Structure 1
C-alpha cells in the first residue's frame, strides 16, 4: 500500500515540484494550500506523514502542528523560508520530526520523508499496541491502555478526570521529554483556551497524589525548574 502524504504549501511552484518528486517516489500525495484545508484533510483521511509550510495565508504551520498533535503522533516535516534557530527549535519542540529550510532539493525532501517513515514503521513494529508502558512498570506497574483511554496500576484502574488522563498520557507517550507549561496547555487544554497555565501545576499535584495513593512509589512526574515537566523512566 502506498504511503499517504499530506502537503500543505501555498506557493504553487514549490508545491508542483514537491508533488512531482514525491509521486515519482511512489507516494500518494494530497496537496492543500490553506491551514483549514489541511486540518479538514487530516480529519477526513489521516495521512502517514504531513509536510507543513510555516507561512500561510490563513495561519501558520506551527498552529496546524499543534492541532494535529492533540490527537495524533503522525510524522511531521516543516517547510519554511525561516532559517533562524529559534524557529527551528520551536518547530521541533512542537513535535516535528524534521525541518527543511527553503530553498531545498526535492530529492533531499524525499529522502528525509523515506527515512522518517522507516523510523516510524520500525518504532510501531516494536511497540506493544494498544498498551504502552514505561520502565516504571517493572517496579510500580503503571500502564497506559490507549485503546480504552485509561491507566492501570497493576490490575487496578487509576481513577482520573479527563484532563488528568490527557496530561499523564501526553507525558507518557514521550518519556524523558520535557514539556513546557505552554506546550501542555496546547496539547491538553486546547479546547479550553481561557484556562490559566497554573492549571498544569495543579493537575500535576493531583496526579502525583493519586499515583502515590494507588501504589506508584516512584516520583514518575518530574519537575524541571523554569522549563516544565517530564515523565521519568525508572532505572
Structure 2
C-alpha cells in the first residue's frame, strides 16, 4: 500500500510545489515541500520520514545533482529527478549519481504519480516478490556476497558496497537469472514497473553504474556482459547459502 506514505517535493517554483502537494495529497500521500536542497537534507538528517523524494534539478544553492550526491551519502530513499525536457545529459547524470527515475518538464502529474507508485510498489513487494532463492539467503558471485534479507552487498573484504534501490533491484534480477540474456524491456519491466521507451537510456546507465559498483571494466566487462541486439547477461556463476561467508 502507498497510502499516506511521506513524499518530499523539492522545487523552487512555489506553484509547482503547491500543485504537487495538492495532487499527491488527494491521492493519499503525506507531502512535505521544500524550496531548496539544504532544507530537504536537514529534514532527513533530523529523522523526518521519507518514502520517496521528488527532486528538481534547477535549485538555488546546490543544484539537484549535488543534493542527490549528498543524499546518497546517508540515505537510500528513492529519488525521482525533474529535468529539463531538452537536456538528455541531465537525465543521464541524475541516474549516474543514484537517482531511481527521472521525469522531463513539463510533465503531467498523473505520470509522476504513476512513477511514484511503481517505485513504491517495487519497494513494498521486494521481500515478497523476490524472496531469497530456495538455495539460501546469500548469493555469492565473483567475490561478492548479497544478503537478500538485509538487501546489502559486500565485497571480498566484507566491506559494504552502497547500492541505490534501483541498483539493488537490477542486481537481484541479474543474479536470479545468471547466465540468461535479459532484454532491456524485461529489465525495465522488472526494475521500473513499465516498458523501456525508445531512446530511453535508463537501463544502459543503470547497467553502467552497477558495473562501476562491481569494479567491472566498462570497456571489457567480465561480470555483466552486453549481448548486442539482445540485452545483458550476468556471466559469473552464482552460489547460494544460508550461512554468510563474512
TM category (shorter chain) comes to 0.5 to 0.7
* Residues 1-235 of structure 1 aligned to structure 2 (within 5 Å): 2-43=4-45, 44-126=47-129, 133-136=138-141, 142-144=145-147, 165-166=159-160, 168-170=161-163, 173=168, 175=171, 177-179=207-209, 221-225=215-219, 233-234=236-237
Structure (1 or 2) with the larger CA radius of gyration: 1
Structure 2 Cα separation of the partners of residues 132 and 83 of structure 1: 44
Distance 1:145 1:51, change over 3 A: same
| Structure 1 position 83, deviation (Å) | 2.6
RMSD of aligned alpha carbons: 3.9
Q: Which runs of 5+ in 1 are unaligned?
A: 153-157, 185-219
Distance 1:73 1:125, change over 3 A: farther
| Structure 1 position 233, deviation (Å) | 4.9
Q: Which runs of 5+ in 2 are unaligned?
A: 175-206, 225-233, 239-246
| Structure 1 position 97, deviation (Å) | 2.1
| Structure 1 position 141, deviation (Å) | 8.4
Alignment match, 1:187: none
- Give the TM-score, by structure 2 length: 0.60
Normalized per residue, the structure richer in helix is 1
Which whole-Å deviations, capped at 9, do the CAs of 1:48-104 have from their partners, x for residues lacking one? 000001111111111111122223322111113353111111112222222111111
Distance 1:141 1:81, change over 3 A: closer
Alignment match, 1:155: none
- Give the TM-score, by structure 1 length: 0.63
Q: Give yes or no for contact 2:7–2:54 (8 Å, CA) kept in 1.
A: yes
Distance 1:58 1:107, change over 3 A: same
Q: Give yes or no for contact 1:144–1:169 (8 Å, CA) kept in 2.
A: no
Q: Give yes or no for contact 2:131–2:148 (8 Å, CA) kept in 1.
A: no
